[in-house]
Structures are given as C-alpha cells and as structure tokens.
Structure 1
Amino acid sequence: MAQKGLCWKEDEMGELVHTGTSSPDISVIRSLAMKHLPGSYDTMDVAFFAEGSFNKLYCVSSPHLPQDYLIRVALPVDPFFNRESEVATLAYIRKYTSIPVPKVLAFCSSSESELGFEWILMEKIGGVPLSDIWDEMPVEAKESLPTEICGYLKSHQDLQFIKIGSLYFSLVRERVGTRDFGETSAYPSLPIVVLSHLHINS
C-alpha cells in the first residue's frame, strides 16, 4: 500500500507504520519561494531546518528578504484535508487570538504540484527553546512567563463553536464534501466554516 512519497509497511507488532519513499527537490522549493515571496531575487538559500513524523521543513533566506521563511513539505497523510484545515486554522487563530502563529504566504493542498508534495510557505517566527535560556533569565521574566502563557491559553479558550469538526475556508466547501454546519454565529464575517470531518474511502 503506497502513495507518492509515502509507503506503509507492517512493523514487528503487525501495525502499519509509514516510511518516506522520496525527498523534495531543493531546486523546486527555491523556485516556489522565489515565485511567491515579494520582490525579485538573484540568489535565495534553501536549507533543511527540521522534520517531524509527516513533514520536513526548509528554511528560505536571502540578503534581500526582510526575514527568513519556512516551507513545510508534507507527506500525503490524509491528503488535501490536512493542509486545507491547517491553513484555515492558522488564519483563524491569527485573526482572533494573540497567539503568535506564522503568517501563511502561499500553500498547495495537492501532491500533483511541481514539487510533488503538499506544501505551505510561511513566516519563520523567531525564538529559542525556553530550556536554553531559563538559567540566564531574570527572575522578573520567569515570574511573568506563566501569566503570558495563561493569556495565550485564555484567548484560545474564548473561541467557542456550536459544533465539533475541522476548520476550512468556505472556498473549498464543495470539495470537502462533508456536512456543513454553517459559519459560526460569533464570527459571521470570516470566510471560514466549521465542518464535521468524516469521509469514508470507497
């Protein structure tokens, strides 16, 4: 059982685990970044940044760019739905909370792209692991940190929905093909709808 860029096999316990079958082309990643980032650049560096179970991240930088960016390349696990919902959720959180999440500049929710994978181009948010600086932090900063974190959690908790489900932009309403519960009454102007995410493969 395989998909482009992804292969499933049984482990010693008889459970299915995924293994990657190919890696994205760095030259194509560079081309995508140059296409979607503002301005025109003769040079642009693309370097591997990090990876998770189902994705790899590449840092895009240039002396002419105001900041660094990340391209997140995803394996085709729950294709289309994951990427569409992820981007819509990021947009929603950016608009209605104070939680620092990256701005998405462009994305593709189809592996039938020139890259051959689904991808998201986003801002790279600066920061360092707390464990790296904790010992050097002033006492005042350590004391204020829980309050700051609680503020982020509260702004997230304040978002209420009348139904469970995933967030999608209304533009993909027909493609999602699941029961539409309508726009949330609290935010009728936002072009995002809440949908149950249940689909059965025939």
Structure 2
Amino acid sequence: MSPPRPIAMLNSATRDSITNALASDVSEVRLIAKDELTTTYQLGLADGRQVLLRIPSFNENASIVEAEVATLRYLADRTSIPVPSVLAFHPGSDGEHSTTCYALLQKPSGTCVESVFPSMTPFEQNSIVAALARWMVELFTLRFEAIGSLRIHGSNDFRIGPVVMKPFYVDGRSKLSLDRGPFTSARGYYRACAQRELDSSRMLFVQDAPESYQQGLEESRLTVERITGFLCDLTDRCEGLDDDDPEMAPFSLDIHEIGLKNIFVSPENPTNILSVADWQYVNARPLWCCARLPPWLRPSMTATDGGSTRLAAIFKAEVVRVAGINSTFLRSLDLEDTRSTLDDLSTYDAFRDGFLLLPALENILATLPGHEDVAGLTALLDPSTLPGRVARINLLTRGSNAMYLAMTPPRSPLMTSLKEESTDKGMPSDSPVLVP
C-alpha cells in the first residue's frame, strides 16, 4: 500500500479550504522542501496547473508563513521586484472545524540561476548582479516603524509584527515565550537577542540529567550567562546604534541575504529575471544592516579567479548609477564596524557555540576604543590555549576556518611508528631521524 499523500494527512476542513481556494481538485502532491519550521509541497491540479503549498511544521510557526505572505504582497504592490503571486492564504482556525495555516503560492517559472550562473557569460552575470543592486537601493528608500516582519493589516495595508528570524524559532524555540518584538530601537533588539539565548538555555538546564553530566551543565550555564552579559555590555557600549547615528537608524526591509537559488530567469534569455522566490525570513532592520553586499558577492578565502571581486565592483557601480556617488547606501557598503560584529554575534547559539562566542566577545570588549583592557587582551591571546589560538588566527584571517587552524594537528602515524621502532631497536647516534 502506498503511503498517504501529504494533503490527505491534513484534516478535512483544511483540504476543503485548499480545494475551494484553487477551484480545482488536487491530483498530485510532491514534497519540495522541509525543515524544522516549514514544509513546502508542489500540488498538481486536475486542470493542469502547478502551485506551491506552504504550511508551518507546528502551529507556533504560523507567523513565519504569515510574514512571507505579507512580504510577497507588499513587494508585488509597492516595488518593481518580480515575486510569485499569493494565490490564497489561510491563517488557520480553532474550534470544531479547525484548519491548518497555509499559503498557496505561484510556482516560479524559468531556470534557477544557481544552476546556470557559472556557465553564464560575464555580461549575463553582471546583469543579474545589477538587478539585485537596483532592488536593494529601491527598498532602502522605504521606511518602517520598527524592527520586525511585515504583517497584513486590514484589507490593503501593512504593519510591522514580531521578527521572523531562525535563532528565535529553531531547536524548539518556537514553543518558548521569547520576546520577538517588534522593537523600536536597535539596542532593544540586541538586548532581546541576549535574553533569547539565556531563556533558551534554561530550557536545557532544567531538564533532569545524570550526575556525571551535572558538572558539565553547570559550566555551560555559567558560560551562557557570561555570554549574555557580554552581549548586553557590547550593546550598551557599541557606537552607531539608534540616536548615535540618526542617518542610519531608520528601518527598512533587509534583503541582502538573497541568493542565486532565489532567482529564476528565462532559459532563452538569462538576463530576463522572471521571479525571485522564498521570502520567509525578511525583516525590517536598521539601514546599516540593509546596505550590505550579499554573502555570495563578498571576497572568499577559497576563490582564485577573482569572480566575486569583479561582481562586487559591478554591484557598487550600479549603486552609483542609481543612487549617486554620495549616497548613504554606497557609504554603508564598506562599513565594517562594531555594529556589524554585534549583529553577526547576535545570531549565534550561546550554548552550542559558546566556546567560540565567549572569547570573541572578550576580545571585542577588550579592544573597544576608550575601553582597552591590555591585561585581559594579553590573557585572551595566550597561544597555549585553544581560545587564544582561535583569537590570534581571527585577527589575521577571515572565514570560518579559524577553529580548524587552531587545533593541534594529529601526530603522523608514520612518525609515531618510526619513533616506536627506534625505541625498540635502538639507532646509532649518527643516524638521521624524524622528530615528531
């Protein structure tokens, strides 16, 4: 017997709602994507159409689907970005005939750029990058009242609701009563990030554990508490937040994480962008967060052909053409200050990543202008410790390999066997040896 189709696993009220919204029976269901937070299916309809069904993995994640629907409708109504149409949205309901939250979305047509980008001509690649630059500059001019995600308000209006960011939802956090905003200040948001880590870790520490693990848990608890304290301290001392930089303090939609996998183009003409899909985790954030190069355009430690450097130059050139040489967006692109570091660190898991997060925060706090702690910094950079080696390497390299580079390399089996053999048999004093 074949397994039940996913849509058959939904209750009858939800199935009826989907069928009525599409005005057609569903003849085929195929799983497209699934993670801890949402699940996406491709529905084949009896009338030949294909659409996407997005549902939350748990009821607590319904806000993620709701925010994506609001973002898609906002972008379609008020920007030039080509996005899939929202065919239907149902927020879910309780009661005798309860229904599941779902969104029915237009399936993107065309070819995913990620699969063809390496084979595209430089002109075609430049065209994609320039389009992304124009969209980001366009959104940079929009303003919102707080940090958070879009929500539909009324029949044709929008408001800012709680943030929809993975650190607030993954690893079971969606079921916790965390402060998700919206936040009217950057400092309020980053303090909430610190509190998020503290509250999430407490869920782990209250669970029963064997006595042998108690000491380790206690050490982890103290580490998390130190990290959250340091995050709050860094938030208070960080320059450029809120009123410190009035020009960059307002909020706009941050889409700098858009990747090549989100962009679909015409197979016949790759410069013709048909759709930009997957807007699940877009939030309004301070302007200095919005004006950043997409990650795939930043310099890479492994790239040798200079492709990212060329494309980054194309991106900046398009910003100059559209917004001007003196634009705020352009000036913000090259900002690599404490604000950016704070924003990056606020996404880490204090319990799982504490062994890296703690020395990083100690390093930053010890070197903030006007707050230098020479003795503390010297201890932090102690090369005899793993955190010290990580900190030293981070000062000289960029990327995620600092931890690997700091590890003591394993001893060569060949050298070990030679040493053991020489110990057993003895060697003349003038014989060459390998020293491990």
TM over 0.5: yes
1:108 to 83, 90, 94: 90
The answer to whether residue 25 in structure 2 is matched with residue 34 in structure 1 is no
Kindly provide the CA deviation profile for residues 22-73 of structure 1, in whole angstroms up to 9, marking residues without a partner as x: x9842347654432114x45x62121111133111110123624x4210011
The answer to whether residue 113 in structure 2 is matched with residue 130 in structure 1 is yes
Amino acid paired to 1:86: E
Distance 2:5 2:89 in 1: 15
Could you tell me which residue of structure 1 aligns to residue 71 of structure 2?
89
Q: Answer with 1 or 2: which has the greater Rg.
A: 2
2:50 to 62, 65, 68: 68
Distance 1:80 1:73 in 2: 8
Distance 1:166 1:109 in 2: 16
Distance 1:55 1:24 in 2: 17
User: Are the structure 2 counterparts of residues 157 and 35 from structure 1 closer, same or farther at C-alpha, using a change threshold of 3 Å?
Assistant: same
Could you tell me which residue of structure 2 aligns to residue 160 of structure 1?
143
Amino acid paired to 2:7: I
User: Are the structure 2 counterparts of residues 73 and 135 from structure 1 closer, same or farther at C-alpha, using a change threshold of 3 Å?
Assistant: same
Matches within 5 A, 1:49-68: 49-62=32-45, 64-65=47-48, 67-68=49-50
Amino acid paired to 2:157: P
Distance 2:116 2:35 in 1: 24
User: Are the structure 2 counterparts of residues 118 and 24 from structure 1 closer, same or farther at C-alpha, using a change threshold of 3 Å?
Assistant: farther
Distance 1:148 1:131 in 2: 15
**Contact 2:38 2:54 (8 Å CA) reproduced:** yes
User: Are the structure 2 counterparts of residues 24 and 155 from structure 1 closer, same or farther at C-alpha, using a change threshold of 3 Å?
Assistant: farther
Amino acid paired to 2:148: G
1:80 Cα offset (Å): 4.7
Instruction: Give 3-state SS (helix, strand or coil) of 1:44's partner.
Output: strand
1:115 Cα offset (Å): 8.1
Could you tell me which residue of structure 1 aligns to residue 196 of structure 2?
none
Between Structure 1 and Structure 2, the one with more helix by share is 2
User: Are the structure 2 counterparts of residues 139 and 198 from structure 1 closer, same or farther at C-alpha, using a change threshold of 3 Å?
Assistant: closer
Structure 1 window deviating more from structure 2 (78-87 vs 100-109): it is: 78-87
**Contact 1:30 1:44 (8 Å CA) reproduced:** no
How many residues of Structure 1 are paired with residues of Structure 2 in the alignment?
157
User: Are the structure 2 counterparts of residues 85 and 129 from structure 1 closer, same or farther at C-alpha, using a change threshold of 3 Å?
Assistant: closer
**Contact 1:70 1:124 (8 Å CA) reproduced:** yes
**Contact 1:57 1:72 (8 Å CA) reproduced:** yes
For the aligned residue pairs, the C-alpha RMSD in angstroms reads 3.3
Amino acid paired to 1:100: P
TM-score (norm 2): 0.31
Residue segments in structure 2 that go unaligned for 5+ positions in a row? 163-179, 183-436
Could you tell me which residue of structure 2 aligns to residue 3 of structure 1?
none
Q: Percent identity?
A: 24
TM-score (norm 1): 0.62
Kindly provide the CA deviation profile for residues 78-135 of structure 1, in whole angstroms up to 9, marking residues without a partner as x: 4554333332222111111222322212222236486863211111112444332124
User: Are the structure 2 counterparts of residues 129 and 84 from structure 1 closer, same or farther at C-alpha, using a change threshold of 3 Å?
Assistant: closer
Kindly provide the CA deviation profile for residues 143-186 of structure 1, in whole angstroms up to 9, marking residues without a partner as x: 222111112222222221243333222249xxxxxxxxxxxxxx
**Contact 1:76 1:118 (8 Å CA) reproduced:** no
Could you tell me which residue of structure 1 aligns to residue 322 of structure 2?
none
